[in-house]
Structure formats: C-alpha cells, structure tokens
Amino acid sequence: MTPFSCLLLYLLSIFDMTCVSCSECIAISPFSGESPSGLLKDSPAETLYQESMTRQGKITMSHRQVDEYYIELTVDVLKSRNFALVKSLKDFLTVLPNPSLIEVVLTQGVYRLIDYVPETADWILQNPDYLMPELDLYWLALSLVRQRLKDQGFIQGKHFWLHPNHQVLLTPEAEIQLLNSLSSGEKLLVFELLTIATQIDPS
C-alpha cells in the first residue's frame, strides 16, 4: 500500500465510506492520535512502526523512516494541488510522536517538491497559508536566505536587511553570492515568496 493510498483510506474513514472496487481495503476508524497500525496495515510503514515502538508504547521514528514514508506522502499531496487533501494530510501527520515533526515533514516535503518536481510547486508557493500554522513558508524562505548569507560571511544589518512584508534588501555583492549559493529549487522558493531588492546604503 502506498502512502497516498493510506491517506485515501483515512479520508474514506472520515466520511464513513466503503471502497467497493478493492478487495484489499480494510475497515478503519478516523484517526485521533492513537496507533496508526490500522491505517498502515500490510505496508512497509506498518513494519517500521512496529519496530519503532518503545516499552511505553510510544512511537520513536528515525529520520530515515520519516523521509521514506511521510515525506513521500507529503510530496504526493502537494502535487495534487488539492486544499482538502492538504488539510487532511496535516491531520494525518498527527501520527508523529512530536508535533514539531509535522513541521519537519512538511518542510522536507516542500524541499523535495521544489528540487525534483518544481513544475508542480507553484501552487503551494502561491498559497502558503495552506500549510499554516504547522509550517510558515515565508519564515522558511527568510531563514534560508539568512543562513546562506551568514555562511558566506555576510552580516545582517551590514550586508543584508530583513524587513516586514517579506522583503530582503541586499548589497550587490551579497545578492550575487546569494544567487550563486541557491539551487534552482531554492531560488523558486525564495523569489516566489520574498521581494529581493539591492540597496547599497539603506537608511
């Protein structure tokens, strides 16, 4: 069973619907933060889930497990360009043991989307509020710019300035180095969400 199939089963359970075209479907109830084993039955993720259980019965998933299952699901949903599925995805991700991991999964899903299927990324970048409050794409883009510039030795307040309304002011040299440091997918993220301007001597 693919990650996307699991989400579809989750949606069917919400509306108390029964699949009549597949003999492999199983009865499940709406997810409420309990064990996801019903949703993941007979899938590789179910095996990973069982292996990750601690003595206290809590989920302790590794980054590899999150990457291979939940991030793949996130990419599939974002490619669908369907707000209802995005909302259900965020509900579904409450299976993760720590709420902060939802942000991690969504972040990695966005990065994978812009790097490997950028032609489908415009929808979520033009509708960043769909991932709120779990993930603030504006903050993600600003953090990326700040970190890349700092890595290049530039100083905030001297070589670049972050302003309200998602605006970034850069010295010419900082702008050149920023462009050189970003991948094509990262450029899509930054320039779709932020206003980048060059200013030599900002007041």
Q: Would you say 61 and 52 are in contact if contact means Cβ atoms under 8 Å apart?
A: yes
What is the C-alpha separation between 133 and 142, in angstroms, rounded? 16
Reported as a single tens digit per residue, the pLDDT across 163-184 is 888 999 999 999 999 999 999 9
Angle subtended at Cα 11 by Cα 94 and Cα 128, rounded to the nearest 5 degrees: 60
- Per-residue model confidence (pLDDT) at position 200: 65
pLDDT grade for 2, boundaries at 50, 70 and 90:
low
Three-state DSSP class for residue 28: coil
**CA gap 39, 27 in Å, rounded:** 9
Asked if 144 and 196 touch (Cβ cutoff 8 Å), the reply is no
> Among candidates 133, 132, 71, 131, which has minimal Cα distance to 96?
71
Please tell me the predicted confidence (pLDDT) of residue 64.
60
Q: Which residues pair with 160 in a beta bridge?
A: 156, 170
Predicted structure pTM score: 0.69
The span from the CA of 106 to the CA of 91, in Å, is: 12
The Cα–Cα gap between 158 and 8 comes to 50
pLDDT per position as a tens digit, 113-154: 999 999 999 999 999 999 999 999 999 999 999 999 999 999
Q: What are phi and psi of 197, to 5 degrees?
A: -135, 150
**Percent of the chain topping pLDDT 90:** 58
What mean pLDDT is reported for the chain?
75
Residue 65's pLDDT is 56
CA atoms within 13 A on the CB side of 102: 21
For residue range 4-29, what is the model confidence (pLDDT) as tens digits? 555 554 444 443 333 333 333 322 22
Query: What is the reported pLDDT for 31?
Result: 32
pLDDT beyond 60 at 93:
yes
